[in-house]
Amino acid sequence: MEVHHFSHEHPLILDRVDDSGETCNACSRPIFDQGLACSSCGFLLHEKCAMLPRELSHHLHPQHPLTLVFDPSQDSESLKCSVCGRTHPGFLYRCNECKYNIDVNCFSKNQMLIPDVSAEKETRKLQHFSHNHPLRLSYLANQSARNCYFCRLPVSGPAYCCTECRDFTLHKSCSQLPQCFTEHPFHPSHTLRFLHQSPYPALCDACRKPIVGLEYHCNICKFDLDLTCLSISSSLRHKIHSHPLYYFEDTKLDISCASCKKKCRESVYRCVPCNYNVHSTCLQFPKTVKHKHHQHTLTLMDSVIKEDSVLCFCESCKKRISQKQRIYYCAECKYGVHLECVAAEDYPDPGRLLEEIINSQAEAEVLVNKLKQEVNSLSEKLQAVAGRQSSISDLQSKLQDTLKARA
């Protein structure tokens, strides 16, 4: 049985929790038995926290009703409890009229019991090739001090955590990277394999920056690729070159632009296998275009980040827009998209298609596991029914024997 809770976009199921005491996203206290968990992103609630009433009256603020809210992205002042004065990223009872908050730890009354929910055995565990211990999918708050073992960036939201090592954490997206790439666009001739550490002081062959720690490596030709360049997925098709071009914000390469012949290390589009390089500004594009996802004409601009600090992500692919990157932009709506996202309407992007395939495979795996669990549950029920039918048959035989004996 699934529970659809207001605080989370995905359905929650009752799940066993390890004795390590994972943290409830409502009250920030550990869960030692079982809780309501999201099998997609690891969001976790105590049973009693999940059943808190949405609206009630409380003796600490009797003049207005309080509403249960959950928005950890708000500023710290908005998340401050009016009772204890502490900032709390979890559930709060709030009076919007008075700006009065009570966090769920100070709110010790009016807690209700959860209804009987049948437990399903969806697993949130992962045995990842990069680590010896099993990992558990968890939902980390924005204030988490953990960094991802793969990309080294801070972790918030869904992540896989090791309950034994404590500090080993992977973004859910990083955990989906394969152990090897058979045809990576930067090195399609050989397989790239994951390494915890390069066997020699290595430079990334895509950007020529030093590699510290993890990398993907070709043992045949000693090609090395760092995790940042590995994750570049969006490519640009342009008539200037026959292969897809990938955008690099900055490199340590000693290269010249194929168009203007000047040195280029920043804001460059590259074909890594061909070592073809061209400045972003040397590529010819229409000054204005019509984008199928926006009603207004978009204008080509070198950058708008300085003028408009709000714009940080492409409206099409939802990925970051570099301050040095040219984009198509609608000033009226503050709507911006990568050049490659507009070009992708004419040329499908293999990198993005690969990313969509990986995401679809992960979703399909979750669905398959759920169907297997349902089949197993149904099989157990059928066996129980068969057992009862056998008992009924035995009773019927005994009854017939009894009736014959009396006759």
Burial class (CB in 10 A: 0-12, 13-18, 19+), 243: middle
Give the pLDDT confidence of 23-71 residue by residue, as tens digits. 888 888 888 667 888 888 888 888 888 888 888 777 777 778 889 998 8
The tally of CA atoms less than 13 A away on the side-chain side of residue 203 is: 8
* 216-246 pLDDT per residue, tens: 999 999 999 998 898 887 788 888 898 999 9
Show the tokens assigned to 318: 């939802």
Write the secondary structure of 134-153 as one string of H (helix), E (strand) and C (coil): CEEEEEECCCCCCECCCCCC
Give every strand in the sheet of 34-37, ordered side by side. 13-16, 34-37, 44-45
DSSP 8-class letter at 161? E
Sheet holding 157-162, edge to edge: 125-126, 135-140, 157-162, 169-171
pTM for the model stands at: 0.53
Contact 212, 196 (CB under 8 A): no
Kindly report, residue by residue over 334-368, the tens digit of the pLDDT. Answer: 888 888 887 655 544 455 555 555 666 667 777 78
Q: Which residues make beta-bridge pairs with 104?
A: none
Q: How far is Cα 34 from Cα 299, in angstroms, rounded to an integer?
A: 54
For tokens 């590529």, name the residue. Answer: 283
Phi first, then psi: give them for residue 286, nearest 5 degrees.
-60, 145
Mode of pairing for the β-strands spanning 215-218 and 192-195: antiparallel
pLDDT of residue 28: 83
- Contact assessment for residue 12 and residue 2, using Cβ atoms and an 8 Å cutoff: yes
The list of the chain residues with pLDDT below 50 reads 109-122, 307-308, 310, 347-349
CA–CA separation, 85 vs 325, rounded Å? Answer: 43
How far apart CA 77 and CA 118 sit, in angstroms, is 39
What does the block give as tokens for 137? 């999918």
How far, in whole angstroms, is CA 312 from its chain's centroid?
18
The answer to whether 69 and 91 are in contact (CB under 8 A) is yes
The DSSP-derived string for 238-262 is ETTEEEEEEEEEE-----B-TTT-S
Closest CA to 92 of 73, 79, 77, 109: 79
pLDDT for residue 225 = 93
326 neighbors 245 (Cβ within 8 angstroms): no
The pLDDT value recorded for residue 407 is 66
Question: Contact 336/315 with Cβ under 8 angstroms?
Answer: yes
In single-letter form, the type of residue at position 110 comes to: N
Are the beta carbons of 15 and 37 closer than 8 angstroms?
yes
Q: Which two tokens stand for residue 32?
A: 């030692």
C-alpha neighbours within 13 Å on the C-beta side of residue 161:
24
Residue 371 carries which DSSP code? H
* Two structure tokens written together for 34: 């079982």
H/E stretch holding 380: helix 350-406
Closest to 56 measured CA to CA, from 64, 65, 48, 68: 65
